[in-house]
Amino acid sequence: MSDQATLEVRNLQTHFFTKAGVVKAVNDVSFSVGKGKILGLVGESGSGKTVTGFSILGLVDEPGRVVGGEILYRGENLVGASQERMRQLRGNNVAMIFQDPMMTLNPVLRIDTQMIEAIKAHHKVTDDEARQRARDALGQVGIPSPDERLKSYPHQFSGGMRQRVAIAIALLNKPDLIVADEPTTALDVTIQGQILYEVQKLCAETGTAMIWITHDLSVVAGLADEVAVMYAGRVVEAGKVDDVLDAPMHPYTAGLIGSVPSRNARGKRLHQIPGMTPSLLNLPEGCAFAARCNYATAACEQPPALENAAGARQIRCHHPLVAEAV
């Protein structure tokens, strides 16, 4: 990647200072996304994907705080940026689609209000222009009769429709970067396919970079250019989608993909790895995956670092798996 990445996250650490102790929800996460590229951010529940997304937008609330690392948006470090600077970027340059579509829209405001305000927060346009753009955005995500729908309230939409509205809101100001937190989980398969197609097209056409957070490796396989696999707040493996999925080097990634490390697993949900994620309050000294890892040795009591491997791969393991010749 010769030109500057749209977003580069370096050694991000976001911790929650709770009464029970410090929850290290994000504990050394690094990745980057280039213009028009899609990065899949994959991991089990609780691995810190959503907190990573919130950190990028500066939306981590008390008792949480970004305690380390850098978030470089086109070279500008957003860690420690002023409130007003973050507000200007949010929704205009960097947009986010939330995980739970039922809760993201304000129940007492009409859809048009919620869309028009998102435009007017950043651009001096008339109400009519803003409404026109809102209508176009609804059309773009495949909502029929957008004119009528603009006048509806959120409860008049199904979950899938609401998520499409949320996606439309994210698209409104043509951001450079969209953080999409499991946006299609609530949608049925056909619509999911349609939205994925639209998103891919959009990124290619407008050069929008996208971070696509998901549990579902099969979605990543079809959609993303690169993938970063998270475990217990850390990126454990990253690289080109095909490379990682065809030949996982980290035992955790291999476990996620299951016994068939190929893209024939399309449509299959994440394979369950026996054992439990360690408590983020009390992470082990060494490799966080050791308790569940078949390859663990005494060396794994030392924390492995994220190291570069051949082919723009990164891997955090003392005993990386050797790609088997297929």
Interacting residues toward another protein by CB under 8 A: 57, 59, 61, 87-92, 95-96, 98, 100, 103-109, 117-118, 121-122, 153, 155-156, 166, 169
Question: Among Mg ion, ligand SF4, ligand ATP, none, what binds residue 290 when CB lies within 5 to 8 Å by partner kind?
Answer: ligand SF4
Which residues have C-beta within 8 Å of that of residue 208, sequence separation ≥ 6? 36, 174, 175, 176, 177, 178, 202
Q: Which amino acid is at 153?
A: Y
Q: Exposure of 282 by Cβ count < 10 A (0-12 exposed, 13-18 middle, 19+ buried)?
A: exposed
The C-alpha atoms of residue 153 and residue 146 are separated, in whole angstroms, by: 13
Q: Which amino acid is at 288?
A: A
How far apart are CB 49 and ligand ATP at their closest, in Å? 3
How far apart are CB 251 and ligand SF4 at their closest, in Å? 5
Q: Are strands 313-315 and 307-309 parallel, antiparallel or unpaired?
A: antiparallel
Question: Among ligand ATP, ligand SF4, Mg ion, none, what binds residue 43 when CB lies within 5 to 8 Å by partner kind?
Answer: ligand ATP
CA 150 to each of CA 76, 130, 240: distance values in angstroms, whole numbers, following the listed order: 36, 12, 40
- Classified as helix, coil or strand, 251 is helix
- Beta carbon nearer to ligand SF4, 73 or 231: 231
Stretch of 4-12, 108-116, 214-222, 311-319 contacting ligand SF4, by CB under 6 A: 311-319
The C-alpha atoms of residue 276 and residue 5 are separated, in whole angstroms, by: 35
Q: What mask, x for binding ligand SF4 by CB under 6 A, covers residues 240 to 279?
A: -----------x----------------------------
Q: Taking every pair of C-alpha atoms in the chain, what is the biggest distance, in angstroms?
A: 66
**Contact between 295 and ligand SF4 per CB under 6 A:** yes
- Beta carbon nearer to ligand ATP, 13 or 92: 13
As beta bridge partners, residue 70 has: 10
Instruction: Using CB under 5 A, pick the residue from 13, 14, 47, 50 that binds Mg ion.
Output: 50
- Beta carbon nearer to ligand SF4, 48 or 175: 48
Instruction: Using CB under 6 A, pick the residue from 296, 306, 309, 323 that binds ligand SF4.
Output: 296
Nearest to residue 60, comparing CAs of 104, 19, 14? 14
Contacting residues toward ligand SF4, per CB under 6 A: 251, 287, 289-290, 293, 295-296, 300, 304, 317-319
